[in-house]
Structures are given as structure tokens and as C-alpha cells.
Structure 1
Amino acid sequence: MDPLWTHCVFLLACCCGLGFGNRCDEVRKVFQLRQIGPNQLLPLSPRPGSDLQVCTSRNLTCCTKKMEEKYQLAARRDIQNLLQMSSTSLKYLISRNVAAFQETFEVLMWQAENHTNAVLQGLHRSVADRTAGPVRELFTDISLFLLGSELSVDELVQRFFDALFPLIYQHLANPALGEPSPGYAECVRSSRRDVRPFGAAPGVLADQIARSGVSGKLLLQALHLGIEVINTTDHLQLSRECRRALLKMHYCPHCQGLTESKPCMGYCLNVMRGCLASLAEIDVHWREFVGSLEGLSARMQGPQDLEHVLLGVHALIRDAVGHAQKNGARLLAQVHRLCGPPSRKSTQSVSIQHSSSSSSSSSSSSSSSRESLPLKAPVKVFGDSLAVRRRDLLRTLRHYRTYYGGLADQLCVSELVSGDGLSCWNGTDIVKSCCKESPFRNWAHWTRSKPAVETQRDVTAATVMTRTAAVVQVALR
């Protein structure tokens, strides 16, 4: 061979090796910048890649087997971060509304308790001062029920009226005579369910709170489950085959010194739809879940409107007290028949010196004002009402109805695929980007035609799907 020609070939090989070496320097920079692993793992110069398992190539490579392992971990971490980033707005939407609903519940409870106390202030002062305790206990129990406690609504309402009756009895019997003895007060309390001094009010109130409260309670439970679904899918367990496919798509180009390359659209869709196939299976359940929230919200009106029911508690209690006063003589006779003549606390005998005219005046004044008991001016619920909050939540949540079904496509389009439309990585080499099809097609079509990842059902995701379906069924009853 001509010595001149041999010399030219040698120089050309040196130049090519030098160029590849420069690209390996870039690989080193990116490896360090992304904190993929220690720089000691990188080769000092391009090397044959015969020991590589995924990033195989006939050319020299900038990778070692240890680098390949680190790249696989990095690829998995990158996808987990993308999943969490993509769900951030959805998770924030639901979390913010859970907090807002709970805050609105608390404000409604406070307002309803104040209105109820205002109603009972129309009773004799010696009685009215002691009604605050049972009222506070009633609304505390309702709050616990709404926040998930397994309390019996009927029992907590009945317990309130049991505690209220001895006070109403004292008001009817002559409050100036003082409190009944503890034993007699207990007998009066125990007789309440037989005497029925409050008419149908206890049953009506229990029914209204139960029906509206179950809807509100279920709404909170459903939203908490929605957050759990997102948290679970954010930490999806990726199969070994998926991790290898992600490595090949994301970091195998680096082994060739192509640190800025991005995957082609079809290739990305094929890999991501396979890796996220279990999330696509959740899609139908997620759609049903969003639909059930819409149905539940539509049902929370009229008798099942929690806000309306809570702000109407004071009116029901006012009517209940009015019913007892209207039938005062009959009630006193029934109580005396069951418990005998009233006995008073001996320490209060001195207070009997109150003039009977003053007592009569107080009693008649209380009776005459019963038709329109003074109420504190209604205080506007802080922030938006429950109905407004539900409407705003559902209006935004509808945009996420197809979130899981289109997640793989969305990640490819917005985050992963080459955006210049000129060149891309196809899993083997850099090629001209020529794919013109719309990416928003069913993932199953791609995995059937040329699956890059064998689909695998995720057990954790399947469990969440089952729980989601259960909540859907309860919500739609």
C-alpha cells in the first residue's frame, strides 16, 4: 500500500477517535451534572461495549457496565419525578378542596351552634345558661360524624334532647323554684322518650343530619381516596423490562456521546404506553370516580344539602321547644305520674323567696316571646358556600377525567420527545424525525403492533382500583 495513503488513513482514524473522545468528555459532564454516579465509573477513553447488556453497539462506547446500572436507576428516577410533576396540579386541586370543605364544615358548625344558643336564650336565665353544654356536645358529635367517626346520628340527636328535657321541664314547672335534685332530673331525662315532649322534632332532625351528613362524609372520604390513588400511582412499581426500556430510550444515546438526543415520537409512545399500561387500566375506574363525585354533588341538594340542614337546626329546636311549651300542662302531669312530685336541691331553698309575681311576669314574658325568639343576625359563612366549592371543584376536575388514559401520551408530547422535528433517537441510532401521526391514540394499538415493553398488571394499582370502585358504588346508591 502506498505509504502516503497509509498515513492518511492513520490520521483519519486518529481524528475520529479524537472526536469521539470529545463527546465522551460531554458524557462525563452530564453524568456529573445530573449526579448519576461517581466519575470514577467513566472510562478514560472510548472502549468496546461487549460487556454492556442494554446499551449494546458495534461502535466504541463511552459507557461501562457500572455506568449502565447507574443510568438505569437514573431513568427510573426521572420517570418517577415526571409522574409526580404531572400529578402535582391534580393532587393540589383535591387537597386544597379537602381542606376547604373541612374549614367550611367547621364554620357551619360554629354558626349553627351560635344560632341554636340564641334560640335557647329565650328561656329563663337560670335554664338558658345550662343549655350551652348539651348544644356544644351535639355539634361536636356532628362534627366527628362528618369527619369519619362511626357515630349513630339518631343516638347523638336523642342524647341531646334527653339532656335538654330536664331544663325545659324546670322552665315549665317554675324556674324560680330552682333546679330539681340530681335524682329527679335523671328521672325526667329518662322519661323523655316515653313522654315525647318535643313531638316529631328529634326524629326529623336525626333523619336530616343523617341523610345530608352521609353525603358530606362520603364526599370527604372520596376526595381522600382520590389523593391516595394519585400517591400510589406516583410511585408505580416498574417492571424489569420497563426499566431496561427506559434506560435504552433515555441514556443509551449517551453511551454514543449523544447527550442531547431525545426519543422519536413513535418510539416514546411505544415504551411509555407499555410501562404505564397498568395506569391506563385505571382510567375507566378514574372516569367512574369523577362521575360519581358529580352524581354525589348533584344529590347534595334540598333535604341532603348539608349547609341548609345545619343552618336550619336552630329552627327545628325552636319548634321542638315551642311544642313542649304548648303542651306544658300535659307534660308536667305525665312527668309527675312517672317520677312523682318534684324534689329540689336543698341548697337552693333560700332562692324560693323570689316573688311569685316576678316569676309569673318572667314566665308570661317568655311565653309571649316564644313565637319569635330573638336570633342573632345571621353571619355569612366564611369564604364560599359548600355548593360553590363543589361546583368549582367539579368544573376543574372534569379536565382530569381522562388523566390516566392519556398520561403516557402526555408525557411523551410535553416532556420527552424531540421538539425540533428534525432528528431523534429510535432506540438504535439518530434518525430523521418523520413521524406525522397524532400521538393521541389508544395505547393498546401500539403495544400490539410492536411492543417495546410487555405490559404487566401492577398489584398496588389494582388494589387502589378495587377501593375506588367500592367508593363509586357507595356514592351512587
Structure 2
Amino acid sequence: MNSVYGSKFLRELLKLSEEELNKTFRKTYGLHYEQNANLFSRLYAELKRYLNTGSVNLDATFNTFFHKLYRKMFQVINIQYSFDEKYLHCIDRLMDVIKPFGDMPNKLTTEMKLAFFATRTFSQSLSIGRSIVENIAEIGPSAECSRSIMQMTYCAHCQGLANLKPCANYCLNVMRKCLLNHRELDSEWNDYVEAILLLTNRLETSFNIESVVNPLAIRISEAIMDFQENSSLISQRLFVSCGKPRIGKRQPKARLTSLEQYKFVRTQVRPATAAGTNIDRLMQEVKRKIKFSKGFWRNLPQTLCLRNQVSGEIVRELAKECWNGTDKVREESSNIAAGIERSVFESSVELGMQNAIISQQIAQLRIITSKLSKAYNGEMEEQKEDRGM
């Protein structure tokens, strides 16, 4: 799931959004867009880099983008004038006062930051969860555990009972002792799963990355239109603060065009959905798969013993003869249930020293669960560079 969500879907989402912006802006703004297309391509490159590494400051990214767009538009709108770098630096300082794009830069930046941070944290959490399971799977059984499993599995052969499977209670007691440290993961794992499930709800609604990336071209165009509609007032305010600019050299007639002739239609068709799916479907898939893993480590002995892994077709043939470690017996369903109850809920067992690897995985679960909770609450933190997606 992580590879699908974290790479293909998000890459396709950004690709489609960028293609939509290119198509729409070429049609609407023509040569003015062509001459400044690199400004938009750099914005998308930074968004991709954030998802890949987490090393991008999205506040700075959008601040730079809108400041450069502001400069370019001011020059195009006032194409009859000539502006040196000192003059442009003056108008830069006044952007936060003039607010040529209205509140769109702040609103868009906040929405993008929340959605991108939550999305990346979510994807990282799936990757870390998978790594934890893989690390635990690498832990070999102790010498005592290996002996117990060998006795449970093969001692019946010595008495000519090669086809006899271990009794459920016997298997459960052996596996429970072998997996004693694994059970310590259960509480932290359940918290981790619950945190993922909570964040998926946010990713379907207020932190939905699709809802901010798909209409990015429309949102930027609305900001441009706000500037266009108030261009005369904006220019006059800047002229008062920075001085009346000097008339530039006479431009060829073909170049004497401004943005006034270009009109962007505010209502646009929503871009195609990325990778043939959508965020809601992906979140439903994650929830369906991960919610069943709650209690996984606590119930691992039953999973191994009662699902034809060690003790045979116990569930389907409850009265079948089985091996209890010393003799051939018949195990009734009531005894199996009682054995499971005692084994699962017994609380007076001395746990002893935790396995070092399991302790490390518990620490990892606590860290990523904390990050998931912060992402759910919209608490963004600086992310270290990595290649998590």
C-alpha cells in the first residue's frame, strides 16, 4: 500500500496538476506565461522534492513564488515603464502591505502545508510499520523456545504417532512462552493503528491533498485575477511609495500587450483523478487492511496455533485426537476455549528483560505515533531529510 500511495499516486497527482496548469495558462495568458513558465515549474519541483525528502520549507517556497509572480505581473501591467532592481526591491518590501493577491497566498500556503505534512507523515508511518514487522520477523527463537517447538512437533514421532498434531492448549502454551516479548508490542502497536485510522479521516476531509493539488491552477489564476482587477489602484499606491517610474524605450507594437486582454474563467473543469483512483478510495483501503491488525501481537500465539500453522486443523476438527506433550488425547472444544482464555489473559507471568530489538521497535512506534497525532492536530514540525517516499 505504501508504494502505491507514497509514490505512484502522488507523482501522478502532481503531474496532472502541472499539466492542467500548463494547458490552462498557455491558453489564457499566451506568451506572458511562456516567458515565465519556469516560475511555475520550479514551484512544482519543490512540491515534489518535499514529498520525496521532506527537506523543503513550504512557507518559503510559496512566499518566493508569489513574490516573483508579483514582480512579473507588476512589470507586465506597467509595460510602458522601465524598472531597475532598486525600484523592484522597493515594491517587494510593500507586497505584504499592498496584498495584490488578496488573502490567497496565506490561505493556499496554509492548506498546502497541512495537506502535504499530513500526507507525508501518513506515508512514512506505513513504511515504518512495515519495517517494524520485518525487523521483528528477523528475530530468531531462543534456544529454549527452539527445544520446546521441536518437542511439540516431533516427540510424537518417537512413539509412532507421526500423524498426530499438537493439542491446541499445548501449542498455545509453547508459543505464548516463545512470543512473550512480542506481546509487549501490542499496546504501542494498537496506539499506532488508532493514530493512523484517525489521520485517514483528516486526509479524506480537511487535509485532503487532492483537494489542494488538483485545483492549484485555478487558485493561482484567481490570485492573478485579483491583481488584475485592482491593478490600477495597486500601481498607483506603489508609485506613491516608490516614486513615479520613468518611461521605457518604445516597444514594438506586437509587444505592447498587458494582462488586461487575458481573461481567466473562474469556473474550471476539475482535473482528472490521479492513477485511476482517488484519495478516498486509498484511505478506505488502508482502513480496511490496518484495522484488523489491532491486537495482532497479543493474539499471535492463537493465530499460529489455531490457523493450521502448527497444530493442524484444530478449529474445524475440535474432537480430533492430538498430542499433549506426553500422550495421545482428545481435546474438546470447551477445553480449547478455556486454554485460550487462560493463555491470553493470564497477567501474573514474569516478563523479565525485554528483547533489545523489540524495545527498539516499541520506541519507533512511540515516535511515529506521536508524529501521527501531531499531524492529525495540524501541528507541523520540521522534518529531517530522508527518502521515505
Match for 1:130: what amino acid? Q
Deviation for aligned residue 1:223: 0.7
Q: Report the counterpart of residue 367 of structure 2 in structure 1.
A: 470
Alignment of 1:306-455 (within 5 A): 306-333=209-236, 335=238, 337-338=241-242, 341=245, 352-354=251-253, 359=256, 364-366=260-262, 369-370=263-264, 372=265, 378-414=271-307, 415-419=309-313, 421-427=319-325, 429-436=326-333, 437-438=336-337, 440-441=340-341, 443=343
Tell me the alpha carbon deviations over residues 276-319 of structure 1, each in whole angstroms, 9 at most, x when there is no partner: 12222222222222211121111224432211111232232112
Return the offset for 1:104. 1.8
Does the 8 A contact of 1:109 with 1:139 survive in 2? yes
Between the aligned partners of 2:280 and 2:345, the Cα distance in structure 1 is: 42
RMSD: 3.3
Offset from partner CA, 1:111-135 (integer Å, 9 cap, x none):
2223333453366533210332121
- Within the candidate set 241, 265, 275, 2:178 is matched to 275
Tell me whether 1:111 sits opposite 2:11 in the alignment.
Answer: no
The residue correspondences of 1:40-439 to structure 2 (distance < 5 A) are 96-121=1-26, 124-174=29-79, 192-193=95-96, 195-254=98-157, 258-333=161-236, 335=238, 337-338=241-242, 341=245, 352-354=251-253, 359=256, 364-366=260-262, 369-370=263-264, 372=265, 378-414=271-307, 415-419=309-313, 421-427=319-325, 429-436=326-333, 437-438=336-337
Question: Contact 1:269 / 1:412 at 8 angstroms: preserved in 2?
Answer: yes
Unaligned runs of 5+ in 2: 378-389
Q: What is the one-letter code of the residue matched to 1:143? A: K
2:383 is aligned to none
Question: Structure 1 residues 168, 288: closer, same or farther in 2, change over 3 A?
Answer: same
Aligned partners of 2:193 and 2:290 also within 8 Å: yes
Aligned CA distance change for structure 1 residues 320 and 424 (closer, same or farther; 3 Å): same
Query: Alpha-carbon deviation of 1:446?
Result: 6.1
1:458, distance to aligned residue in structure 2 (A):
2.0
Equivalent residues of 1:118, 1:374 under 8 A apart: no
Q: Distance in 2 between matches of 1:454 and 1:194?
A: 64
How big is each residue's C-alpha offset from its partner over 1:72-121, in whole Å with a ceiling of 9 and x where there is no partner? xxxxxxxxxxxxxxxxxxxxxxxx34423432212221222233334533
Contact 1:162–1:190 at 8 Å: present in 2 too? no
SS in 2 for 1:424: strand
Report the Cα distance in structure 1 between the residues aligned to 2:214 and 2:50, rounded to whole angstroms. 17
TM-score (norm 1): 0.67
Contact conserved, 1:141 with 1:156, CA < 8 A, in 2?
A: yes
Cα distance in 1, alignment partners of residues 10 and 63 from structure 2: 22
The structure-2 alpha-carbon separation of the partners of 1:363 and 1:161, relative to structure 1 and needing over 3 Å to count, comes to closer
CA distance in 1, matches of 2:221, 2:122: 30
CA distance in 1, matches of 2:173, 2:344: 9
Asked if 1 retains the 8 angstrom alpha-carbon contact of 2:100 and 2:234, the reply is yes
State the identity %.
Answer: 19
Distance 1:377 1:424, change over 3 A: closer
Between the aligned partners of 1:430 and 1:223, the Cα distance in structure 2 is 46
Contact 1:237 1:458 in 2 (8 A): no
Contact kept, 8 Å, 1:406 with 1:440, in 2: the verdict is no
Deviation at 1:216, TM superposition (A): 1.1
CA change 1:144–1:187 in 2 (3 A) is: same
Specify every segment of 5 or more residues in structure 1 that has no aligned partner in the other structure, as ranges. Answer: 1-95
Q: After the TM superposition, which of the residue ranges 439-448 and 243-252 deviates more from structure 2?
A: 439-448
| Alignment partners' CA distance in 1, 2:183 and 2:169 | 18
Partners of 1:126 and 1:447 in 2: CA distance: 74
Equivalent position SS for 2:322:
strand
Deviates more, 1:326-335 or 1:465-474: 326-335
Contact 1:249-1:263 at 8 Å conserved across structures: yes
Between structure 1 and structure 2, the one with the greater Rg is 1
Work out the number of aligned pairs and report it.
365
- Name the SS of the counterpart of 1:432 in structure 2: strand
1:115 partner amino acid: E
Structure 1 CA distance for aligned equivalents of residues 299 and 344 of structure 2: 12
Deviation of 1:333 (Å): 4.2
Higher relative contact order (CA 8 A, sep 6+): 2
